[in-house]
Amino acid sequence: MNNTIHPECARAIQHLLQLKDPKREDFLALKTYGNDRYSAMGWEELQTYINEKTVIIVEQFENEQNIMSALRWVARGLPVWLAIRKVRADYSVYGYKK
């Protein structure tokens, strides 16, 4: 378990990973349960998470906030495609967060 994220968040990520076909509601239910060390990461720090696997995130989103959000979820332990779906689900409900 990653002790830099909230235990509830870690459990929720594990739960999501066990689902064969996670639904939109499953992604919306995934929360950070407060700020963790990744919440405060800016673009400079998050760029260290960009590699051949995560570059797809940059290609999927035009909005920098969404890119940063998806990279934060990858840093917390979500696989890239689930991180993209998580951000898409959040964006469909909440839109751009300033």
Residue 6 has pLDDT above 70, yes or no: yes
Q: What residue type is 88 in one-letter code? A: R
| pLDDT at 2 > cutoff 50 | no
- Asked if residue 97 has pLDDT above 70, the reply is no
Render pLDDT for 11-64 as a digit per residue (tens, 0 to 9): 999 999 999 999 999 999 999 999 999 999 999 999 999 999 999 999 999 999
Segment 77-94, tens digit of pLDDT = 999 999 999 999 999 888
**The predicted structure's pLDDT at residue 45:** 95
How far is 66 from 74, CA to CA, in rounded Å?
Answer: 12
Q: What is the pLDDT of residue 98?
A: 43
The pLDDT value recorded for residue 18 is 97
Determine the angle formed by the axes of helices 80-94 and 64-76, rounding to 10 degrees. Answer: 130
Residue boundaries of the structural domains of the chain: 5-89
